[in-house]
Structure 1
Amino acid sequence: MRLVDLTHPLTTGMPVFPGDPTVAITPALDVATDGVAVAHLSLGSHSGTHLDAPSHSIVGGRTVDRIPLDRLQGDAAVLQVRVDAGHAITAADLPDRLPDRLPAIVCVATGWDRHFGAAGSDVDLRTHPFLDLAFAHELWDRGARVLGVDALSPDSSDATDEAADDTAADVALPVHELWLGRDGVIVENLTGLTALPPRVRMLVAPLPLAGVDGSPVRAMAWVPTESADSGT
């Protein structure tokens, strides 16, 4: 097995959802002057590759430190789709029939991560493909409890009013309401999903931020090596 990192590095000025705190990483102490290096981190709880706890959009929902760690690791299904920007993904977009039973972790790979922080890109990250609500219901009903996407959100991120502030309050979040309302977990801004096989073992490791609605994560997958695939 080989380990694959599915995480965007946290860097100063990296893309964030409109209205979220920007990311800034600056020196606080310096080896030459202070004998040690320490960085000052300024970022929101939903920066980079991150986890949405139920409390992100559900009043009284579970906070990130209360999510059992065994829920965030195990077998994962990777569903590959190739759709256009702004497309509402349904089961019909999958190359194969959706299995009757899914593992607890399901990731939808669209390839939208290629636009995240891409130099010179004029693509609006908010125009990503998103999950049709009925499709999200299907995933949940077939066993998924952790939903991973390689875009800003499993919901559409287009603002309902171009004159608005373009914050999360300006967009509908039906998949969040469904998933987090049932005590599920959402992982956003994954990267590298399109290179994964249909089944992997996966780990999502958040910070244990007490009473907080989400956390940046280190997400990774174990995939078979070529030698393992060939049986040599």
Structure 2
Amino acid sequence: MKLFDLSHPIRSGMPVYPGDPQVRFESALTTADNGVEVTELHLGTHTGTHLDAPSHAAPGGQTVDQLDFTLLQGPAVILQLATAATAEQLVRLEDLAHIPDQLPSIVCLATGWDQHFHSPLRERHPYIEVDLAELFWQRGARTLGVDTLSPDPTVHHDSTFEVHQFWLSRGGIIVENLRNLTALPDRVQMSMLPLPLEGLDGSPVRAVAWTP
């Protein structure tokens, strides 16, 4: 079995979505003074590779601790682009190399934009046309994964967050800032489990994929 690590490491000063809390690690206890090491973490619920629970954009939607784990682990389809992604590209159906008629609960769009996570280009990522998101949903997907900051545009967005609104208002889950999706085959097993953060809107996840 081959395992693929799909999560960006979380570290102090790492990139975050514009306006989100900055990430800081501070020593709370040390072995020299206290006999043990303990670190205090300062970060937002949407730090690094993370999931958006429905409550992130849908008032009254499920929170992280209420999510159905069967939507976050199991068979996944990885959709590759037919050609290399470009900055601020609107990804439509015709841009995909292939899409099955029936999708499992987990579908991930691989753009390769994770290579820009540590550069200013991360905010000029490709994003998904809402009609394409609707097609994913119609074909059975309930967890949408992307290797970008968001399935909606980050630069020049109009605050409507169309894909977020469509997906999360129906009880779906969005996983953002995945990495290494372009290295995966079309079908894998995947796990993207959050911390059990009671009543909260999102959580970092340790995302992994594997093949038999």
Fold agreement, TM-score > 0.5: yes
* 1:135 aligned partner: 132
* 1:200 aligned partner: 188
CA contact (8 A) 2:85 2:112 kept: no
Q: Cα distance, 1:158 vs. partner?
A: 1.2
CA contact (8 A) 1:149 1:187 kept: yes
1:27 alignment partner, SS class: strand
* 1:17 aligned partner: 17
Q: Cα distance, 1:159 vs. partner?
A: 3.3
Deviation readout 1:118-159 (Å, 9 max, x if unpaired): xxx4x3322100000110011000000000000000001113
Name the CA distance, whole Å, in 2 between partners of 1:193 and 1:21.
Answer: 26
Percent identity between matched residues is: 54
Q: Cα distance, 1:172 vs. partner?
A: 2.7
* 1:156 aligned partner: 153
Q: Which ranges of 4 or more aligned residues in structure 1 deviate by more than 2 Å?
A: none
The residue identity in structure 2 corresponding to 1:126 is: E
CA contact (8 A) 1:159 1:171 kept: no
Listed as ranges, the matches of 1:32-43 within 5 Å are 32-43=32-43
Tell me the TM-score normalised to structure 2 length.
0.96
* 2:106 aligned partner: 105
Deviation readout 1:174-201 (Å, 9 max, x if unpaired): 0000000100000000011010000000
Larger radius of gyration: 1
Q: Cα distance, 1:99 vs. partner?
A: 1.2
Structure 1 unpaired stretches of 5+: 161-169, 225-232
2:94 alignment partner, SS class: helix
Deviation readout 1:47-105 (Å, 9 max, x if unpaired): 00000000001110000000011221000000011321111101111123x21101110
* Number of matched pairs: 210
Q: Does 1:74 align with 2:80?
A: no
1:204 alignment partner, SS class: strand
Compute the RMSD of aligned alpha carbons.
Answer: 1.1
Q: Cα distance, 1:171 vs. partner?
A: 3.0
The residue identity in structure 1 corresponding to 2:128 is: L
Name the CA distance, whole Å, in 1 between partners of 2:159 and 2:115.
Answer: 23
Name the CA distance, whole Å, in 2 between partners of 1:108 and 1:86.
Answer: 15
* 1:91 aligned partner: 93
Q: Does 1:28 align with 2:22?
A: no
The residue identity in structure 1 corresponding to 2:87 is: A
The residue identity in structure 1 corresponding to 2:92 is: T
Q: Cα distance, 1:26 vs. partner?
A: 1.4
Name the CA distance, whole Å, in 2 between partners of 1:147 and 1:115.
Answer: 20
Structure 2 unpaired stretches of 5+: none
The residue identity in structure 2 corresponding to 1:55 is: S
CA contact (8 A) 2:6 2:206 kept: yes
2:174 alignment partner, SS class: strand
2:70 alignment partner, SS class: helix
Q: Does 1:216 align with 2:200?
A: no
Listed as ranges, the matches of 1:2-13 within 5 Å are 2-13=2-13
Q: Does 1:191 align with 2:179?
A: yes
The residue identity in structure 1 corresponding to 2:117 is: F
1:124 alignment partner, SS class: helix
Name the CA distance, whole Å, in 2 between partners of 1:14 and 1:159.
Answer: 23
Tell me the TM-score normalised to structure 1 length.
0.88
